[in-house]
Structure 1
């Protein structure tokens, strides 16, 4: 039966009804898109409430953290970036890069520089800088939400799925670690990949984690390593993970003896790179600044004094920075 069968006083000009219906449909489509966008925004805004902001590489806290002095660690940074951007080969893919070293060897400074470089080159997916100084970053409680939030921001095609996952179960951030990982990261990533396979290979694919040894509970360290290994085995997980930390027991077990060994490349800051030339650059640049500030003669300090400082540093940048801070103390005379 025609919709106009019993109608009166009806006139049709061109295809006005079709136009109206198309307009209505278009409006519904637009409204649906807007609603979906708002839902994504709302979900991400709510997820942000469970983010450890100080763990982000560009947080206010990190801006005050260690950085590599200009002209230092050049070869190391180049090698790390080459590893992160390399093409997969036919051998067992190494998806972990473990940068290890003693306390004060410069791990956090290197992790910070690499994170900033990756961000500039648009290949950074997420970071987490652990620190025992903050309740935000001394445990794994905010680890997954923080990574998920950054992935949603840096990889827009994952945003709607991560937001929906959180909106559908806002209590997920209080559930066990594996449930959080599956719900907020692995499942949304798989859905985003299925929706756009072509874009998947172009996603930012670097995750930087620093100071896992500063996560206070050793079992939590092991849980994070196990979860990362599980993720890296997934065909839908496109990320490479740079992890900088001291070689504490859980890390040694995982990377040197356990399931992480076949898929891990390592850089030992105490063994693989000559540090003294970088320390020399750091000391000379620092003393040049002090000389200018205090109007001290060019000959100060003597080369022998710099050599002695390098010797005492024993490869530890923390000694070098502490020594310069003391020499440059406003309450002291530098030459003393």
Structure 2
């Protein structure tokens, strides 16, 4: 059983058909209005009838005041690390420190290559992502021009800046051992999705992250654990997040206390009603249960 002790955060990953992309902004505004903490937007720059993720996040940040915003996850092969670092820092400055950066190694390689991006093997994509994270952090740090001689990226005296107004956390999505190990070494947050990594597989993945973090001289709790959650509110229970709010509360509180998940994000959500119900009937009760258990002296029975 693992609870890394992070404050609980709740959010939404809104999406809508291309012709209704403006609805995403309204869903994001609602997410803030009902008291949730963050909004994430998927990044598929190779799909021409979807709005650009970074531009969309800038509008969401401008129309909210407390909401954290981030791409989940920025498509690295089509967003080079220097440009990505500068865009992220700019959005952090303009949002008064509410921007966080999720970065993905890439997928759909035929479409990426068609747009002039690289066609990486799985191993190459992981190596490129690790290089990119190191470059991005270097460009956020005041100091001498950045020089970097990697296999995938080379910088020859690039001036750092602009500088974010807070330490921007870098989120990575990971499922396989090599990516999980890299997450433990260098990431600030791990973000898997429940349709691809069901709850019963979280413990094994956490163990890989923890070991890699320790081997790198980091505390395992240095990596926040987030989770994209896909489910449906129904009258009767029927599996993970398939049931009434009470069932959601029990399952999410258990994941927080036994698997260290401290950020829960409604995944690919299109319904304002689901956001409202989640905020009203699930989130407060999960917070209450976790706070009560954390306040219980070690060894005291529930």
Q: TM-score, normalised by structure 2?
A: 0.34
Higher relative strand content: 2
Structure with bigger RCO (C-alpha 8 Å, 6+ apart) = 1
Larger Rg, first or second structure (1 or 2): 1
